[in-house]
Structure 1
Amino acid sequence: MLRACWSRDHLQIFFRNLNKIVADTTTSSNTVDEKYDEWRKIVRFRTVVAWILTFVSFSSLIVQSVTEYNDDFDTGIANPFPHRNKAVTYFFLCLQIWEVGAWLFPILFQVTLFTFLSHQFSSLDKDIIRMIEENGEMISQKVKDIRRKHLQLCKAVSILEQDTQYFMAATYVSNIFLVCFIVYQMVTSGTLSIFTYVSFSSWLMMNTMITLTVSVTAAQVNEQAHSLLENIYDVDMSKASTFESLEMQMFLSKLNGPAIGFTAMGFVTVTKEFILTLGGIIITYFFLLLQFQL
């Protein structure tokens, strides 16, 4: 994902735009250093969690390869090469750890960027509340600055969305398919060994958590981007000029317009309602399997 975004210059443009937004303290009470410190903590924590998950996954692969918990593991991982060859086994174990990183770290990168944007929209909303309390009727003169910063954030979302829409679609297609496949295997395969149940359960949990993490962080961007609407309605425009009233109307049109956020191939914007629909489909599939099995 990083290479794809960088090769098309979208990621460079996004970061330049994001730096301008962060450096703009016209409407914000927080300094640039405070924002960067908060972001560093988020990045460090999530990176540590990703490395821990990678280590746990790799350790489980090592345990399966050196013990007799799963007799078919070496055969399956080395197929079609001879599994008794240790060099082949070691090579495919190293390949597996790379594949685990390929699953986890693009997700980490993506959701962290979503979190940054969500925090920026949320900070702008808090700034509006603060400005209403401090300035009262005079806030109408600051609508231009608020609207300009909101448009910059929307532009950042649009730039990043040009590449993440493909990644989002691939995430949903692959993970939902795997969730349905694992559920089908667990329901229809009859009696399974404890180790098989543990493997299926951990695999199911991983795919579910990936889907939820991406969906929730993307939905937060959509929610925070439109959250300003409620507070904008509280702005007193009785003493506003014609220009200020026009700025307010344009701002309201933007907030009431098409959904701001990230999509899957441009077909659907990821919102909380979309997550609920997705969860309902999977739960319905599970109960249908149980019904036919019984």
Structure 2
Amino acid sequence: MLQLFQNTVGTSSDVDDGQETLARVQRLIVLSGLSWDYKKSGGKCNISSVAACIYSSAICMVYILLLIQTIPYYVTADSFTDTCVAILGSTVIVLSLIYWALSTNIHSKIRAFSQCLHEARLRFKSPVPNPLLKKRVVKACLCLRFLAAFSFAASGINVAILTDAHSEYYWPVIVLSAVYGGCNILLYHSILLLFLSISLLLTYEYDVCTQRLVQASEGSVKEEEIEDIRDHHALLTDLVDHVCSFISIHVTVAYLSSVLILCFCLYIIINGALLFQNIGAAAYVVYYSTLNLITLTYLGIRLHEAAHRPLNILHDLAGRKMSERVIGLVTLFANKLSQRQIGISASGLVTITKDTVLTVIGTLLTYVFFVIQFKPEAGLRQNADSTAGCLH
């Protein structure tokens, strides 16, 4: 696994592999329009950074124009279904625009994280080596580009089918929708890929910390070993805090937007307002929402459990015969782990753990039960029947 060596720096090949892995994800993020601060350094702008800003501004204008384009659908909507579809489309575009705005400085955050890894003096030596992680990221980037191209074509074809061919905005709407579909795929998936790569690196390192503690507990526990492992864990916790400083807002928005969209889609489905031609759009946004919830929850739970796994070993050590100094270090280490939640948090409000899964599932089930019990259409029909009976 990943190992920590004091007063040493990873070899040049290891560092290059780590930088190349993050650089590939950055290039994928640039295609999504999150390129506002791409390749900026020292407060100076070069040609590539200016071009990236122009491209990012163009993608932002596509979002805004597509949002404006949805306004006529509210005017022409003459049924509950048309209104729900218009609201759903506008909601997804607004959330995408907000997510884009929150992520415009993501490249500088990635560079800061790379610098923190370098300053932490981590050397990558692992059964799952960093070059293998780089190869996996390369494959993931290729798959996401293919998925974005497919979404680009599918979005354009879908809008072309549903839009009146005699409308003067026929082709502009097709182009805007196609660009939005492709960029939106990259927007969410590239950031999820970034979070996945960072989370795996930290999780592997926490596993190494646990492995070192297990090896130390097999023989006579030395004060230097416990102190070094405790410093190792504290260093990783600082890195997790640094990561949370720039992804917690993304986690919050992703969770809130995903739950909001799922609740809205469930409301439409339960009320039977989803027609066949709108199933594709509904499945599209449900896929996004479900992917965000599953991925972020998985990453959060895995990192949280890896960070707290040494706690059981420390409890076993507390009952062994050791010097008072070692017992004090073990007790201090165990108390710190038991009193603090380490992991990915949503704006510092809640840390993602297994309890989070139960909370989200319970919220959705409660919402479904509430909608089924108090269906507005059933209430309207009942009032209409009673009104008709009074008239007779």
Same fold (TM over 0.5): yes
Matched, 1:47 2:145: no
Equivalent in the alignment of 1:273: 355
Rate the CA distance shift 1:17–1:235 in 2: closer, same or farther, 3 A: farther
For residues 188-207 of structure 1, what are the structure 2 equivalents within 5 Å?
188-190=271-273, 192-193=275-276, 195-207=277-289
Equivalent in the alignment of 1:184: 267
Matched, 1:18 2:113: no
- The range that moved more, 96-105 or 235-244, is 235-244
For residues 91-130 of structure 1, what are the structure 2 equivalents within 5 Å?
91-130=176-215
Contact 1:132 1:235 in 2 (8 A): yes
Measured after TM superposition, the shift of residue 36 of structure 1 is 1.5
Rate the CA distance shift 1:205–1:48 in 2: closer, same or farther, 3 A: same
Q: Could you say which structure has the larger radius of gyration?
A: 2
Report Cα offsets for 1:204-262 as digits up to 9, x if no partner. Answer: 12211112101210121111111111122233775544433332222112211121112
| Distance (Å, rounded) in 2 between the aligned partners of 1:257 and 1:236 | 17
Greater relative CO, 1 or 2 (CA 8 Å, sep 6+): 1
Contact 1:11 1:160 in 2 (8 A): no
User: Unpaired runs of 5+ in structure 1?
Assistant: 25-29, 76-80
Q: Secondary structure at the match of 1:137?
A: coil
Rate the CA distance shift 1:38–1:242 in 2: closer, same or farther, 3 A: farther
Report Cα offsets for 1:131-162 as digits up to 9, x if no partner. Answer: 434xx124554111111110010000111111
2:155 to 56, 61, 72: 61
Q: Secondary structure at the match of 2:345?
A: coil
Rate the CA distance shift 1:254–1:42 in 2: closer, same or farther, 3 A: farther
Contact 2:270 2:372 in 1 (8 A): yes
| Distance (Å, rounded) in 1 between the aligned partners of 2:125 and 2:275 | 57
| Distance (Å, rounded) in 2 between the aligned partners of 1:107 and 1:174 | 15
Contact 1:222 1:270 in 2 (8 A): yes
Matched, 1:166 2:249: yes
Measured after TM superposition, the shift of residue 268 of structure 1 is 0.9
| Distance (Å, rounded) in 2 between the aligned partners of 1:111 and 1:249 | 33
RMSD: 2.9
| Distance (Å, rounded) in 2 between the aligned partners of 1:100 and 1:88 | 18
Matched, 1:215 2:297: yes
Q: Which amino acid aligns with 2:279?
A: Y
For residues 219-230 of structure 1, what are the structure 2 equivalents within 5 Å?
219-230=301-312
Give the alignment's TM-score, normalised by structure 1.
Answer: 0.80
Contact 2:113 2:242 in 1 (8 A): yes
Q: Secondary structure at the match of 2:187?
A: helix
Q: Secondary structure at the match of 1:233?
A: helix
Q: Secondary structure at the match of 1:116?
A: helix
Report Cα offsets for 1:108-138 as digits up to 9, x if no partner. Answer: 21232122212221232233224434xx124
Contact 1:117 1:157 in 2 (8 A): yes
| Distance (Å, rounded) in 1 between the aligned partners of 2:203 and 2:257 | 26
User: Unpaired runs of 5+ in structure 2?
Assistant: 1-101, 379-392
| Distance (Å, rounded) in 2 between the aligned partners of 1:276 and 1:253 | 26
Q: Which amino acid aligns with 1:289?
A: V
Q: Which amino acid aligns with 2:297?
A: S
Contact 1:144 1:247 in 2 (8 A): yes
Equivalent in the alignment of 1:83: 169
- The range that moved more, 203-212 or 241-250, is 241-250
Contact 2:156 2:174 in 1 (8 A): no
Percent of aligned pairs with the same amino acid:
20
Contact 1:128 1:231 in 2 (8 A): yes
Aligned residues: 275
